[in-house]
């Protein structure tokens, strides 16, 4: 068996010495009682954005689903493999989370690919092309806006895709049911990597507003 990269081993040592050793009781409690997170975060695979770090969450507080470009496909029951849909079902049906947060971010590579590839046919014989094609309708809308610069189009699609994912969430019958009953709330946020600013989507207008912590008394 090959050894793990030294960076990971050093990180694990630091985790044991400076984290786990001080919170052993918490981990033992999680092992015995199981997890009961109230929040599901649907985030991108991008290594620069870590929801647990950004929200300063403890183990057991956030159930995280990560895929390329934080995309939620529409409900499509068939015999294919649906990792995202399976994670959604587990979080909503079994864990009964109270909040779902679609977490997008600036400089998303998946979104950039969608913008570039929309101008030509997406490859149908690879995984990433098939997945990114879910962004194609939103990408077409953004590309047709001639008033936006390329960086502005990137940001526009990052935020528009969050809106589309929120809409797709409601195509899942058990998500829509729990939302309509008041047991589940859907949220959209966009994180600016360079500034650390978090933007939250307003439910009434679907516009993204910068989160001002002072206004929440935080």
Sheet with 185-191, side-by-side order of all strands: 62-67, 39-44, 99-105, 185-191, 198-201, 208-210
Give the tokens for residue 187. 């949220």
Q: Which of 87, 161, 81 is nearest to 127 (CA)?
A: 81
46 is annotated as contributing to ligand binding: yes
Alpha helices in the chain (DSSP H): 6-18, 24-33, 51-54, 83-89, 109-117, 127-132, 136-143, 150-169, 173-180
Distances (CA, A) of 200 to 123, 177, 188, 212: 33, 24, 6, 10
Give the tokens for residue 118. 């929309």
Q: Write the DSSP string, 14-40.
A: HHHHHTGGGSHHHHHHHHHH----SEE
Give the tokens for residue 60. 């057991």
Binding-site positions for Zn(2+) read 44, 46, 105, 108
Task: Please give the annotated binding residues, written as ranges.
Answer: 44, 46, 105, 108
């Amino acid at each position: 068996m090959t050894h793990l990269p030294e960076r990971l081993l050093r990180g694990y040592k630091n985790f044991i010495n400076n984290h786990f050793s001080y919170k052993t009781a918490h981990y033992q409690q999680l092992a015995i009682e199981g997890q009961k997170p109230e929040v599901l975060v649907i985030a991108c695979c991008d290594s620069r954005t870590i929801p647990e770090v950004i929200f300063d969450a403890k183990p057991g507080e956030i159930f995280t689903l990560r895929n390329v470009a934080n995309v939620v496909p529409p409900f499509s029951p068939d015999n294919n493999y649906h990792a995202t849909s399976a994670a959604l079902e587990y979080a909503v049906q079994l864990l009964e989370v109270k909040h779902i947060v679609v977490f997008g971010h600036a400089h998303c590579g998946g979104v950039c690919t969608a913008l570039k590839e929309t101008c030509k046919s997406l490859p149908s014989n690879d995984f990433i092309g098939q997945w990114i094609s879910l962004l194609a309708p939103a990408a077409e809308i953004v590309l047709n806006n001639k008033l936006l610069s390329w960086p502005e189009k990137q940001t526009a699609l990052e935020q528009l895709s969050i809106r589309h994912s929120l809409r797709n969430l409601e195509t899942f019958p058990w998500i829509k049911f729990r939302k309509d009953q008041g047991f589940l709330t859907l949220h959209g946020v966009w994180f600016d990597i360079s500034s650390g600013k978090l933007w939250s989507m307003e439910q009434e207008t679907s516009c993204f507003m910068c989160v001002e912590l002072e206004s929440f008394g935080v």
